[in-house]
Amino acid sequence: QVQLVESGGGSVQTGGSLRLSCAASGPHYDRTCMAWFRQFPGKEREGVAAVFRGNLHSTSYYGDSVEGRFTISEDNAKNTIDLQMNSLKPEDTAIYYCAAASGGCMWWTRPSAFQSWGQGTQVTVSS
């Protein structure tokens, strides 16, 4: 399985920005879906954004609540998946997890579709 380690969480005020990074190590798949999820207390994990690393190009996906504010990107040289979060709101406060799945991103919003998970990083947005 791919090993994932998140970094970059922290506390910001409403309207601020944070950048999360997910470092991947271990087996590489030619076709991999890399995603960011978040989890609110007492709730199931929610898909935030995903990127499909296909053979020729990558395709990005976003949840409705973050589209236009968050950007997922990949740094192939560093083998990281980053999540740039702008215009943060208190309702973005959650633990953010990086996840990896072999194959495509067809089911990217479903946590059960992912085989590897990071340990999570806390993001807190204060009003």
Please identify every stretch of the chain with a pLDDT value under 70, giving residue numbers as ranges. Answer: 28-31, 55
**pLDDT at position 103:** 80
In which residue are the tokens 């499909």 written?
52
**pLDDT at position 57:** 74
Q: What is the 3-state secondary structure (H, E, C) of the chain?
A: CCEEEEECCEEEECCCCEEEEEEEECCCCCCEEEEEEEECCCCCCEEEEEEEECCCCEEEEECCCCECCEEEEEECCCCEEEEEECCCCHHHCEEEEEEEEECCCCCCCCHHHCCEECCCEEEEEEC
**pLDDT at position 58:** 80
**pLDDT at position 10:** 97
**pLDDT at position 94:** 97
In which residue are the tokens 């040289």 written?
77
User: Using one digit for the tens of pLDDT, what is the confidence trace for 49-64?
Assistant: 999 977 677 889 999 9
**pLDDT at position 70:** 98
